[in-house]
Amino acid sequence: MSGFLQLRASAQDEVAAVVGPRLLAGIGSGPGLYEHRATWPAPRALDEAQLLALLEAVPVHGRGGAGFPFARKVRTAIATGRRRAVVVNAGEGEPASSKDSVLLVAAPHLVLDGAEAVALALGAPTLHVVVGQDRPAALLALEDALAERDPTGIPVEVHTTRSGFVGGQETAVLELLDGRENLPVTAWQPASVSGLRGRPTLVSNAETFAQVAALLTLGPAAYAELGTPEPGTTLLTVAGDGPHGVVLEVPHGAGLGQVLEFCGYDPSSAMLLGGYHGTWLPAGTAAQLPVSLQRLRAHGLSLGAGVVLPLDARTCPVVVTAGVAGYLASMAAGRCGPCVNGLPALADAVGALADGAGPMATRRARDLTALVPGRGACAHPDGTARLVASMLRAFPDEVRRHELGGCAFR
């Protein structure tokens, strides 16, 4: 991994993208279609059976957070026998993630190749691409890329989210496309069964469609040459909520410790894995873990949207968690009890703990992390509770210090 490129992928920060082994291999040449085609020829047209056969030959898991098998979504959409829709969800409401934005800035045609191939195979009349409201560079790069492509191809509609953190959630995106408020709602069926205007809808993030483009172009055998136990690579955003964020591409099976060391961090650092809805890992844990969906799941962990947030040795995890919990409470959709009441109460409890309010604050936080999950209209309350519960587990000594009014980092 070498070759840093400074890319403004968000409104707030410069994000360094690293030339990678596959999806990011050609970013040094520029994002134009001519340069792109020198590395990636246009995927051949496939029917739905051919597309499904390729996707099932080498499993591609979604890179948006849940890690759901992409082929299963496609098979479900095909099985309905009805008119389908395809949505590239690059809403990326997570402040610590920039990988989809970097792809749209540095390699937009790879994302569009994959999405258009899927849309054509499924007979979707239009391809929808959703970009985060705070990602103007990604939006501009997407518009430039679309202007270069064949105007006789599948029509592409571009949409912009309107509601911050929760605006990129799948049901919130579908609400936006249906002309309603860009907020999540309870989904009674998967989008691949009933999504946009009731049609079977394939919704995946930008990286997933770029991975599909790579598979369609390389073929199953060449695609599987990188990565173990899962084939392929994945994009990670390291320290993406600060001024020195880095997006890099690593083969599955690489060590998290290696990733941290490459980015200039102590490989034994404590870290938040998976983003603001992720899980805290105590110091010394990350160095032993691989970048692998299967192997992380065996430890009860997830990469989420590919976010790795190393904790500075001078920074208190209790104070950081209090700040993030407060932010997440402010980003709630306000459509259910856990968002309206539970998340503010949880944020207050963690804030009180950070301020040294004593054991009562810890008990309150612990009780709420057990009460909130599974009751919301979407996964936002669950993710916030997971963050706080993991902090209480991962840093018991620091929690105790705060209960007594102290802090090892002051």
- Concatenating the DSSP letter of every residue in 117-180 gives HHHHHHT-S-EEEEE-TT-HHHHHHHHHHHHHS-TTS--EEEEE--SGGGGGSHHHHHHHHTTS
pLDDT score recorded for residue 204: 97
Biggest CA–CA distance in the chain, Å, is 68
Q: Which residue has tokens 């390729």? A: 54
pLDDT score recorded for residue 11: 47
* Contact criterion met (CB below 8 Å) for 275 and 97: yes
CA–CA distance from 76 to each of 118, 214, 393 (Å)? 14, 22, 38
DSSP 52: H
pLDDT score recorded for residue 64: 85
Do 62-217 and 317-403 fold alike per CATH? no
pLDDT score recorded for residue 391: 98
Assign domain 62-217 to a CATH class. Answer: alpha beta
Q: How far is 177 from 203, CA to CA, in rounded Å? A: 12
Q: Where are the domains of the chain?
A: 62-217, 317-403
pLDDT score recorded for residue 209: 98
The DSSP element (H or E) to which 377 belongs, if any, is: none
Taking alpha carbons only, the member of 165, 193, 253 closest to residue 72 is 193
The two structure tokens encoding residue 409: 């980092």
pTM (2 d.p.): 0.95
For residue 251, say if its preceding peptide bond is cis, omega within 30 degrees of 0.
Answer: no
CATH topology for 317-403 is: de novo design (two linked rop proteins) (1.20.1440)
- Residue-level pLDDT, tens digit, the chain, 410 residues: 345 455 555 544 567 889 999 999 999 899 999 999 999 999 999 999 999 999 999 989 989 877 889 999 999 999 987 789 999 999 999 999 999 999 999 999 999 999 999 999 999 999 999 999 999 999 999 999 999 999 888 999 999 999 889 999 999 999 999 999 999 998 889 999 999 999 999 999 999 999 999 999 999 999 999 999 999 999 999 998 888 899 999 999 999 999 999 999 999 999 999 999 999 999 999 988 999 999 999 999 999 999 999 999 899 999 999 999 999 999 988 888 888 999 999 999 999 999 999 999 999 999 999 999 988 888 899 999 999 999 999 999 999 999 999 999 88
